[in-house]
A and B are shown apart, each in its own frame.
Chain A
Amino acid sequence: MTAPLIQTESLSKDYSVGGGVVHALTPLDLTIGRGEFTAVMGPSGSGKSTFMNLVGCLDSPTAGRLLFDGEDVSRLSTDALADVRNRKIGFVFQSFNLLARLTAEENVELPLMYGRVPRGERRAKAVKMLGLVGLAERGHHRPTQLSGGQQQRVAIARALVNDPLLLLADEPTGALDTRTGVEIMALFQRLNDEGITILIVTHDPEVAEYAGRVVRMRDGHVISDERNASPVRAADVLGRMTAQAAE
């Protein structure tokens, strides 16, 4: 295996609530290799979001270390973390989080603006990314003029535009109907085939079946870590759905 992309060493996170302390993440050791497609599962309150926020460099741990792409990011300043997020991580949210006043292209360009990419290059990159997610024709549409699935594709294009090492998705299909959800998973699988590392949080077991690795959490611990050599191909599921609909 190549050098891991993410490596946690006794990573923990406490929250002080009222008088007491909540151990949202008890010392946790987990390694995620480059090119893996991992699904994190677990009941509500098990620490999934806390873990995602740390891996996504949105937060710093209470104790322990987090190595991202070989760099210890657990003690970085907020500005330095912002730069890591900008250069190496793409976020996909359950509720898309597109800016309603901007067109699809402008939404996709946003990370490039913070990455100080010259104005001229941004549009070309954004157009290319929209093509990659199958929305070449929709660049000038605003989010309200797009379906949920299309909005999530725009969000994925935005996450990809900086050529990140990691795609982090928190319940990416949570706001979508079944078929659209499968379409998004098919897109994720295609991107993963092209080499990008993907980490998704989901409570939906069917979604987890598309991942090559499933990490289950409870009370801030990892309780199981399974690899699946032959995950379900979302493209095949789509094919079957289309066939069924035709009958």
Chain B
Amino acid sequence: MTWMDSLISALQSLKVNVLRSALTTLGIVIGVGAVIAMVAIGAGAESRVSELIKSLGSNLLMVTPGSVTQGGVRLGTGTRFTLTEEDAESIQRDLASIVLAAAPTVRGSGQVVSGNVNWATSIQGVTLEFFDAREWEPGIGRLFSQEEVTGAGKVVLLGATVADNLFSGGDPVGQMVRLQNVPLEVVGVLARKGETGNGGDQDDTVVIPLSTAKKRVLGDRQLRGNLVHAIAIKVSDASLMEEAERDARDLLRQRHRLRDSQPDDFTIRNLSQIMETRAESSRVMTLLLAAVAGVSLIVGGIGIMNIMLVTVTERTREIGLRMAIGARGRDILTQFVMEAVMLSLIGGIIGVTLGLGGSILIAELANWPMLIQPQAIVIAVAFSAFIGVFFGFYPARRAAQLDPIEALRYE
């Protein structure tokens, strides 16, 4: 009996009881479907997180004023600014061995106008370190010069979204725009970064020199002297993140003359770590659901084994007949294993189809990211075939070991 013969025989006998075959495969369908959907959605979430980390800049510590309690509730946010440009310079200078860049920034929002087009966006006042820390370069045009940064140069870099909206495809470089009524020359457009994790558009911003922001554009009363909103610290290596965080904290406490009894008047957050934690918890979730899917696959396999045992009993005479006309034990074994494999494989294929359909649907409806992974499909199909072999083997071996005489006498 060739493989082809076994395959055809298997399909012929499954066809006899379509409803039973369908119900038997249900466990596998659900298990495989769940695995496929979960992997697609899990992989989507993970890839979004890693994209996000990449777009924020990796190995980034974010220092903001105010402190954080144990529970994560920030106290006194924005009420008192404590960070200065000198703090940033000091971090960059004193921690040079582990810090690539410490970028002080101020933020605000305002209207940017070109001709008669008007666009409300966020404003970031930065030094040149910003571009190193965020790994963000102009896609077209140029960076600010050192003179423009220190001398409140009337220049601006547009985020890609702002450029699209103000110049709708035209070349903005060299054009004049008015930001909060201050005329600025567009020196470039920043490379496109895409969305943030929570759907915000990172490209909907304009970037100007820190001094320009403070002296000409924002005019925030509270932001006197050298105070800034935040300092972004780019650490030279992922393994040095904790060390950098500790050193920066010590340095800032010392600079702010905090006594041991006093709490920090700033907060340092490790962005990659936050993202990693999120990714990790989504991985844990995926694993957990995978375990559930695994259990349903095993239950599905046991269902197949059960039905195959029933089938073998029902078809005892057929087995006797096949043996009488020359089937060897191996032929009978192959035939019934093949039936079990067909059951689970068909279940697996239906499961893959439903799983993909389901995850596409969920991705559409819930606006979740999803990523179809071909390996997952191959593995799921192969695994369901394996389940067929594993759970089909015992019933098939029982069939193969029947005595032809007794099998033929079976009523």
Chain A residues in the interface with B (C-beta under 8 A): 53, 56, 58-59, 78-79, 82-83, 85-87, 91, 93, 97, 99, 101-102, 110-111, 113-116, 119, 158, 162
Contacts and interface: CB of A to CB of B under 8 A. Distances in A.
Contacts of A97: 317, 320-321, 408
B328 interface: yes
B165 interface: no
A85 B327 CA distance: 9
A86 B326 contact: yes
A46 to B, nearest CB: 17
A170 B137 CA distance: 92
A93 B2 CA distance: 27
A114 B321 contact: no
Interface in B1-53: 1-2, 4-5, 12-13, 15-16
B325 A86 contact: yes
B323 interface: yes
Contacts of B321: 93, 97, 99
Contact of B325 (A79, A114, A119): A114
Interface string B202-224: 00000000000000000000000
A114 B1 contact: yes
B185 interface: no
User: Which 3 A-B pairs give the minimum distances between C-beta atoms?
Assistant: A86-B326, A114-B326, A111-B325
Contacts of B12: 101-102
A73 B301 CA distance: 41
Contacts of A101: 12-13, 15-16
Contacts of A82: 323, 326-329
B328 to A, nearest CB: 5
A119 B13 CA distance: 19
**Max chain B C-beta neighbours (<10 A), residue from A97, A111, A119, A162:** A97
A87 B320 CA distance: 17
Contacts of A79: 328-330
**Max chain A C-beta neighbours (<10 A), residue from B322, B325, B405:** B325
A58 B404 contact: yes
Contacts of A162: 326
A194 B352 CA distance: 58
B324 to A, nearest CB: 5
Contact of B322 (A78, A93, A114): A114
Contacts of A158: 325
Given A114-B1, A116-B1, A56 B324 contact: yes
Nearest to A90: B325
**Max chain A C-beta neighbours (<10 A), residue from B321, B326, B331:** B326
A79 B331 CA distance: 10
A93 B323 CA distance: 14
A85 B318 CA distance: 16
Q: Which range contains the number of B residues in contact with the other chain?
A: 20 to 34
Contacts of B318: 99
A113 B330 CA distance: 14
B15 A113 contact: no
A115 B326 contact: yes
Contacts of B322: 110, 114
Contacts of B323: 58, 82
Interface string B267-311: 000000000000000000000000000000000000000000000
Contacts of B320: 97
B2 A85 contact: no
Given A101-B13, A102-B12, A91 B325 contact: yes
A108 to B, nearest CB: 11
**Max chain A C-beta neighbours (<10 A), residue from B1, B12, B404:** B404
Contacts of B2: 116
Contact of A58 (B4, B15, B317, B324): B324
A140 to B, nearest CB: 15
A87 B328 CA distance: 13
Nearest to B323: A82
A113 B328 contact: no
A58 B407 CA distance: 11
Nearest to A161: B325
A56 B404 CA distance: 11
Contacts of B317: 97
Given A82-B326, A99-B318, A119-B4, A114 B15 contact: no
A78 B329 contact: yes
B261 to A, nearest CB: 87
**Max chain A C-beta neighbours (<10 A), residue from B4, B15, B321, B330:** B321
Interface in B378-409: 404-405, 408
Contact of A113 (B1, B329, B408): B1
A113 B318 CA distance: 15
Nearest to A88: B326
A155 to B, nearest CB: 10
A91 B329 contact: no
Interface in B323-360: 323-331
Contacts of A59: 405
Contacts of B331: 114
A119 B5 CA distance: 9
Contacts of A110: 322, 325
A116 B331 CA distance: 11
Contacts of A58: 323-324, 404-405
Nearest to A115: B326
A158 B325 CA distance: 9
Nearest to B17: A101
28 contacts: A56-B324, A58-B324, A59-B405, A78-B328, A79-B329, A82-B326, A82-B327, A82-B329, A83-B326, A85-B324, A85-B325, A86-B326, A93-B321, A97-B321, A97-B408, A99-B318, A99-B321, A101-B12, A101-B13, A113-B1, A114-B325, A114-B326, A114-B327, A114-B328, A114-B331, A116-B1, A119-B5, A158-B325
